[in-house]
Amino acid sequence: MKKKKRIFIPLIIGAAAVGLVVWDNFRVTVSEYTIQYGELPESFDGFKIVQVSDLHNACFGKNQSGLMSAIREAKPDMIAITGDLFTTQKRENAYSFLKQAAEIAPCYYVSGNHEQRFADYYSEIKPHLERLGARVLNDELVSITKGGEKITVIGLSDPTFFRTKSTEESTDERLSMLESDGFTILLSHRPELFDVYAKHNVSLALTGHAHGGQVRIPFTHRGLYAVHQGWFPKYTEGIYSENNTKMVVSRSLGNSTIYPKINNPPELVIIELKRENY
C-alpha cells in the first residue's frame, strides 16, 4: 500500500501541475497602465488604448467571447494590434476577433514576423484585414483628431520585410521618413529596438514579440528567453522609459511554439493617457 501511495501522489501532483499550466495559457488577464505626459493635448486627456499583441490565432471562448468581453469593458478609444495575429494558415479566430473589435473602436494594425512568412500577405491578408475594419499601417502615419487637436499614430512593418539591411538600420531609416511633430504613438512589433524609437523621440511605443520571456521567473519581473533578445531578455513586460520616450511591451495573448508559457498567462493591455499638470 505504501508503495502505491509513493507512486500515486506524484502522479496526482504532476497531473495538477499540467492542468494548472494548461488553464493558465487559456485565460485572459488584463494589465492596466496610466501614463502621464506633459505634451499630451488636452482633448486626449483620458484617451484609452487597448493593445492586442501576438494573438497567433488563439481562441478565448466561443466566438472570442472571453477576449471581447474584456475589450468591451475597457471602452477603448483605440485598439492597437501590434503584429502576429496569425501563426499558421488558420486565421478564423483572428478574423473573428478583428471583426468584432472594429465595431468597438478604430483598429490600427501593424505586421509582425509571422505575417511576413505568408507569401500572400499583401495579395490576400492585408485587403481582408481592411475589409474587416482594420487600418493597416505599413510604414505609414495617420492623425487622430479630437476637440480640434491631434495625435499621430505611426505604424512600422516588421523588419523581416526588409532583409537587405539590419533590423536597426531598416527601422531607423523608415522612422526618419515618418517623423511627426507633437504627440506620437508608434505601433511596432519589436521591443528590442527601443533605442531606435527613443532616438526619434516617439512619445509612446507599443510592442510585443517577446511573449513575456515565455517563462516568467517567480518573484522577479524577469522572463527566461525571448527571440531576438536571447536568455534573460531586457524587454518583456510593462513600461520602459528612455529620455522622452516610453514603451509598453505586451506579454502576448497567444503562443507560437509547442512549449507552453509558464507563470505567464495571456495578457490584454489597457493604457490610459493622462495629461500631466505642472
pLDDT digits (tens, 9 = 90+) for 90-108: 789 999 999 999 999 999 9
pLDDT at 62 over 70: yes
What are the tens digits of pLDDT across the range 209-236?
Answer: 999 999 999 888 889 999 999 999 999 9
In this structure, is the dihedral angle defined by the CA atoms of residues 69, 72, 74 and 77, taken in order, positive or negative?
positive
| Contacts (Cβ under 8 Å, ≥6 apart) of 73 | none
Cα of 213 vs its chain's centroid, Å: 13
pLDDT at 260 over 90: no
Provide the 3-class DSSP secondary structure of residue 88: coil
Q: Which three cell numbers stand for residue 123?
A: 495579395
Cα of 205 vs its chain's centroid, Å: 10
Pairing of strands 149-155, 140-146: antiparallel
Q: Give Cα separations from 198 to 33, 184, 229 (angstroms).
A: 20, 12, 18
Strand partners, 230: 226
**74 vs 114, higher pLDDT:** 74
| Contacts (Cβ under 8 Å, ≥6 apart) of 98 | 81, 85, 107, 109, 129, 132, 133, 134
**pLDDT score at 100:** 97
pLDDT at 16 over 50: no
pLDDT at 7 over 60: no
pTM of the model: 0.90
**41 vs 5, higher pLDDT:** 41
Please state, as a whole number, how many other Cβ atoms lie within 10 Å of the Cβ of residue 112: 29
Helix extents (H) in 25-125? 65-74, 92-101, 113-116
Confidence of residue 12 (pLDDT cuts 50, 70, 90): very low
Determine the average pLDDT of the residues in 244-256: 94
pLDDT at 6 over 90: no
Cα 146 to Cα 110: distance, rounded to the nearest angstrom: 23
| Contacts (Cβ under 8 Å, ≥6 apart) of 261 | 24, 25, 211, 212, 214, 215, 216, 252, 255
Determine the average pLDDT of the residues in 269-274: 98
What does the mean pLDDT of the chain come to?
88
Please state, as a whole number, how many other Cβ atoms lie within 10 Å of the Cβ of residue 126: 17
**pLDDT score at 256:** 81
Confidence of residue 21 (pLDDT cuts 50, 70, 90): very low
